[in-house]
Amino acid sequence: MSELTHPYILAFDTANEIIAIGLGALDPADRSVSLAASVEIEAHRASNTQLLPRIDALLSECGIDKHAIACVVCGRGPGSFTGVRIAMATAKGVSAALEVPLYGVSTLDSIAWGLQHAGVRGHAVVVADAMRKEVYPVRFELSDEGIARLEADSVVKADEAAERLAGGWPAHSAAKEGAANAAGLEADAVNAADAAGCTGAVADAAGGASAVPVVAGDALKKYADLFEPCGTFADEPLWTPTGQGLLLAAQAAWREGDIDPFDAAFGNPAFALPVYTRLSDAEENERIRLSKNEPKNLRTGVQDTGIRRDQRATVRDSAIENAQADENGITYRPLDAAHAQMVAHLETELMGTDAWSEALVLDELPRKDRVWWAAYDADDALVGYAGGWIVDGQVQILKVATVPAMRRCGIARSLLARIASDARDLGAKSCSLEVRASNESAQALYRALGFESIGMRPRYYSDREDAVIMEGPLPLDHHDVAGMELMVHSDAEPCDTSDETAVQRADSRERIEGSQPLVLAIETSCDETAAAIVDGRGSLVSDVVASQIDFHARFGGVVPEIASRKHIEAICGVTDECLDVAAERIGVPRLRWRDLSAVAVTYAPGLVGALVVGVAFAKGAAWAADLPFIGVNHLEGHIYANKIATPDITPPLVVSLVSGGHTMLVHVKAWGEYVTMGSTLDDAVGEAFDKVAKAMGLGYPGGPVISKLAAEGDASAIGFPRAMLHSGDLRFSLSGLKTAVITYLRNEEAAGRTVDKADVAASFQQAVIDVQVAKAEMALKLTGAKEFCLGGGVAANPALRAAYGVMCEKLGVRLTLPPMSACTDNAGMIALVALDRYRAKRFFGLDADAQAHVDIDQPY
């Protein structure tokens, strides 16, 4: 290998069972890449444990310091959702901490570039495994100049894709109009064809363009028989990405887009996202359900019966709150068949002779390449709707309309943002539409969203008026990060740095050193993306949370796939804000990753797909900044959350952990030494609240809604069971209580009696509290502890907090409650645990991984 003096590029991909890593040097003059190394390793579902150690080892073998990396390239997929997110989250962490650009490239393009470099010319097709008997098929034309992609990413049933490909190779103008730029690897680069030992189809094709397509992709491992009639298979080492292919794909993108790879404006890691090509299962199933006209309350998905007239406003308001009504009282939901007639009626009013009929609207809803959203006022009346068609990597806006009385309320913009968000997940990268030439206000809106006029369609509308064709970027609604608002908390007051003199700047290093150790912690165990920084005094100088609740509310609970996607979108923005807030509190112009003492993350327990994002990002950042990496048990974090309210709290103590996933009593003998005294046999408390709320048509999340409604009811009205109240041990069971409430509701409805839901909510809540308090009292007496604490989302319940207060006063025990902001998942509590582990030098290795389940009693 010759001596390379240019800046280095690190590229990697984990979209399938192979870890591909490439290391190259870029010549900024012509954006050509010189290959230093390309390695591929079998991962066997262990990408998160192997990726960084392998990268570290490769750099060491090549004698290259990580700080010589000036750019990161990452495979975006499509491929295994988890695999793609591991690479993307790791790349974001590395890029952020090294302060270098990050570029995402198509995993399928990198495979095509591998074929091209190995000598394949002419037709080629890559078919990657998409699971569920589906594949990602993309056709390419390969030439001496490079590759030309002939179609956008899509997901297709394997047998259908094979049938299409076997039917022939249609002419495509893109192949004739020119390919991507030449590969341009230096003469001393590794010859991929030789290294792979390529024979057969690749060797035959090397001498010239082949009329018979060459087929590659990991889907061939499953569906070789299906795709055998489609062409000649490439040699197996070329079925998956290579480090060299990733570098070639990036090089082509930079040249084609005239991009400076070191320009941060084009390589912001926050904007790099995976390729999905389809919505989550929950969203797809929702669209199937909503395309059927079922007589249900479409806000909650359950029958809205038995609600007393004077309670309807409360229940309705709760549902609207769950759907996050905007300042005008407007809520947004995917369009359903039950409102198709209303859409048709508004079409007649607003569109005249161009109006769609109800039948046309109903025909649109079940189509997988269509996205429809609607806006409703506080009385659930339809006030706007929009639809889009995703084709060839673009979403074409089919309809967007708002009732005249509600115009200028941002409804059209919000509808377009939701269309764009779904379209992006279906592979769209841009947007197009037609608008009447006379509709200047609409054109102004689209121009404000970044659209430009690209032509006219003469006499396009039924009245012969011309249409202006406009194209632009996806009109996404950005908010603070990933469509979410940031919530910022901290213990410290900000320092004034508005008049930053040279002397003050010189003092910045002293201020940072005076705050040491500074530990940044990340929390992604469920549906909050959070980051916090704790200083050496144990004060939280920054505590930032982005909640995803808006994205899950309409499903009645957290959707793991959506949670993982949103974490990938939000993690850079949340950590950037965390560093900025900490810098303000410390009194320095900027706080960088390298200024920290350690990086920590929740590694367990929780939703494993969500945890993976946080763990991969945190490991990448820790590695890049040469910092210790700390893993934290999420449950221990909830225990430490009490330190936020009472910093001097010391064991021994008893903690009740009550949340959507946990109900348990823990004896804290010392920090880090825990004994679980009892836990639930079935449902957790928070889970029971959510299920009962859903049964009553109150929406999600159930805890706050039931608590609010219970305040209006009689807690003694209904004698619901207190399961295991007299069991003599500290175990819990909530399933029977939940079933009893649902049975009561059904029996009352069957008898034709009106249900007082406030009484139901109050009686259910009291049954939960009675058991929780009784078991907590028993635990305190058994341990003799004089401190009692609470942790978890249900710890925010006012009635439960008050009941524990009464109990502790009776027993002469000090009660510590976490602040309301620290009851739900947050990174502040994780940072406090991490500070203790940092001082004890209890670090994790780069091969650490997320775990869905752990035992808090076991040291880690």
The pLDDT tens digits for 580-610 are: 999 999 999 999 999 999 999 999 999 999 9
Q: What is the pLDDT of residue 830?
A: 98
CB burial of 180-215 (b: ≥16 within 10 Å; e: otherwise) equals: bbbbbbeeebbebbeebebeebbeebeeeebeebbb
Coil, strand or helix at 556: coil
Percent of the chain whose predicted confidence (pLDDT) is above 70: 89
CA separation for the pair 6, 466 (Å, rounded)? 54
Is 450 part of any known ligand binding site?
no
Q: Do the beta carbons of residue 645 and residue 819 sit within 8 Å?
A: yes
Assigned CATH for 8-271: 3.30.420.40
CA separation for the pair 165, 163 (Å, rounded)? 6
pLDDT at position 789 over 70: yes
pLDDT at position 3 over 70: no
Q: What is the pLDDT of residue 325?
A: 74
CA separation for the pair 545, 430 (Å, rounded)? 30
pLDDT at position 54 over 80: yes
Domain boundaries, the chain: 8-271, 328-357+365-429, 486-641, 649-818
Is 660 part of any known ligand binding site?
yes
Q: Do the beta carbons of residue 360 and residue 337 sit within 8 Å?
A: no
Q: What is the pLDDT of residue 553?
A: 85
Q: What is the pLDDT of residue 735?
A: 94
Coil, strand or helix at 221: helix
CA separation for the pair 721, 699 (Å, rounded)? 24
What band does 577 get if pLDDT is binned at 50, 70 and 90?
very high
Contact partners, residue 131, CB within 8 Å, separation at least 6: 80
Sign of CA dihedral 165, 166, 170, 174: positive
What band does 178 get if pLDDT is binned at 50, 70 and 90?
very low
pLDDT, tens digit, 9 for 90 and up, residues 284-339: 888 888 888 654 443 333 333 333 333 333 333 333 344 567 778 899 999 999 99
Assigned CATH for 486-641: 3.30.420.40
Q: What is the pLDDT of residue 297?
A: 40
Q: Which CATH superfamily is domain 649-818 in?
A: ATPase, nucleotide binding domain (3.30.420.40)
pLDDT, tens digit, 9 for 90 and up, residues 609-652: 999 999 999 999 999 999 999 999 999 999 999 999 899 999 99
Give the N- to C-terminal CA distance of the chain in Å, as an integer.
Answer: 43
199 has which bridge partners?
none
In whole angstroms, how far apart are CA 771 and each of 152, 506, 710, 715, 785? 57, 59, 17, 14, 20
pLDDT, tens digit, 9 for 90 and up, residues 719-756: 999 999 999 999 999 999 999 999 999 999 999 999 99
Is 480 part of any known ligand binding site?
no
Q: What are phi and psi of 509, to 5 degrees?
A: -65, -40
Average pLDDT, the chain: 88
pLDDT, tens digit, 9 for 90 and up, residues 318-331: 333 445 677 788 99
Please count the other Cβ atoms lying within 10 Å of the Cβ belonging to residue 845: 11
Measured CA angle at 131 (ends 130, 135), to 5 deg: 35
Is 657 part of any known ligand binding site?
yes
pLDDT at position 399 over 50: yes
Mean pLDDT of 510-517: 86
Q: What is the pLDDT of residue 309?
A: 31
What band does 387 get if pLDDT is binned at 50, 70 and 90?
very high
Is 280 part of any known ligand binding site?
no
Is 726 part of any known ligand binding site?
no
CA separation for the pair 432, 413 (Å, rounded)? 15
Q: Does an H or E element contain 37, and which?
A: strand 32-42
328-357+365-429 is classed CATH 3.40.630.30: yes
Position with higher pLDDT, 500 vs 277: 277
- The identity of residue 552, as a single letter, is H
CA separation for the pair 854, 860 (Å, rounded)? 10
pLDDT, tens digit, 9 for 90 and up, residues 524-555: 999 999 999 999 999 999 999 999 988 898 88
Coil, strand or helix at 12: strand
Mean pLDDT of 496-503: 51
Is 702 part of any known ligand binding site?
no
pLDDT at position 795 over 90: yes
pLDDT at position 831 over 50: yes
Strands (E), 638-713: 653-658, 663-670, 673-679
Is 638 part of any known ligand binding site?
yes
Q: Do the beta carbons of residue 38 and residue 9 sit within 8 Å?
A: no
Q: What is the pLDDT of residue 317?
A: 38
pTM of the model: 0.89
- The identity of residue 322, as a single letter, is N
Mean pLDDT of 835-860: 96
Instruction: Let me know if the fold of 328-357+365-429 is the same as that of 649-818.
Output: no
Is 83 part of any known ligand binding site?
no
pLDDT at position 510 over 90: no
Position with higher pLDDT, 460 vs 202: 460
